[in-house]
Structure 1
Amino acid sequence: MTTSVPLSRVGDEARAALFTDARTTYAFADTPVDDATLTDIWELARWAPTAANLQPLRVLYIRTPEGKARLLPHLDEGNRPKSASAPAVAVLAVDHRFHEHIPHILPIKPELKEHFAADATQRDGITSFNGPLQAGYFILAVRACGLAAGPMAGFDAAGIDKEFFQDGDWHSVLVVNIGHPAGPPEFDRMPRLAHEDAVAWA
Structure 2
Amino acid sequence: MTKQFHDRSLSADALDQIFREARSYNGWLAKPVSDEQVHAIYELMKMGPTSANMQPARIVWVKSEEAKEKLASLAMEGNREKILTAPVTAIIGYDIDFHDELPWLFPHTDAKSWFEGDQEGRKQGAFRNSSLQGAYLMLAARALGLDCGPMSGFDNAAVDEAFFGDEPKHKSNFICSIGYGDPKSIFERSPRPDFDRFNRIA
Check whether TM > 0.5.
yes
Match of 2:9 in 1: 9
- Give a deviation string over 1:150-179, Cα, whole Å, max 9, x none: 000100000000011112121000110110
Match of 1:3 in 2: none
Q: Which runs of 4+ in 1 moved over 6 A?
A: none
Partner secondary structure for residue 139 of structure 1: helix
Q: CA deviation at 1:118?
A: 2.5
Match of 2:31 in 1: 31
Task: State how far apart, in whole Å, the 2-side matches of 1:125 and 1:162 are.
Answer: 21
Contact 2:24–2:186 (Cα < 8 Å) also in 1: no
Match of 2:156 in 1: 157
Match of 2:87 in 1: 87
Q: CA deviation at 1:115?
A: 4.0
- Residue type matched to 1:162 in 2? E
Task: State how far apart, in whole Å, the 1-side matches of 2:104 and 2:144 are.
Answer: 27
Task: State how far apart, in whole Å, the 1-side matches of 2:186 and 2:46 are.
Answer: 32
Q: CA deviation at 1:185?
A: 4.9
Task: State how far apart, in whole Å, the 2-side matches of 1:40 and 1:189 are.
Answer: 28
Over 3 Å counting, the alpha-carbon distance change for 1:107 and 1:7 in structure 2 is farther
Q: Does 1:123 align with 2:126?
A: no
Q: Please, what is the CA RMSD of the aligned residues? A: 1.5
Task: State how far apart, in whole Å, the 2-side matches of 1:53 and 1:8 are.
Answer: 25
Contact 2:127–2:173 (Cα < 8 Å) also in 1: no
Alignment of 1:23-102 (within 5 A): 23-102=23-102
Q: CA deviation at 1:53?
A: 1.2
- Structure 1 unaligned residues grouped into runs of 5+: 1-5
Task: State how far apart, in whole Å, the 2-side matches of 1:170 and 1:68 are.
Answer: 20
Partner secondary structure for residue 171 of structure 2: strand
Task: State how far apart, in whole Å, the 2-side matches of 1:136 and 1:7 are.
Answer: 25
* TM value normalised by structure 1: 0.92
- Aligned sequence identity (%): 33
Task: State how far apart, in whole Å, the 1-side matches of 2:187 and 2:27 are.
Answer: 12
Task: State how far apart, in whole Å, the 1-side matches of 2:116 and 2:163 are.
Answer: 24
Q: CA deviation at 1:139?
A: 1.1
Contact 2:94–2:171 (Cα < 8 Å) also in 1: yes
Match of 2:19 in 1: 19
Q: Does 1:137 align with 2:136?
A: yes
Task: State how far apart, in whole Å, the 2-side matches of 1:52 and 1:119 are.
Answer: 16
Task: State how far apart, in whole Å, the 2-side matches of 1:121 and 1:10 are.
Answer: 39
Q: CA deviation at 1:145?
A: 1.2
Task: State how far apart, in whole Å, the 2-side matches of 1:150 and 1:36 are.
Answer: 20
Contact 1:23–1:185 (Cα < 8 Å) also in 2: no
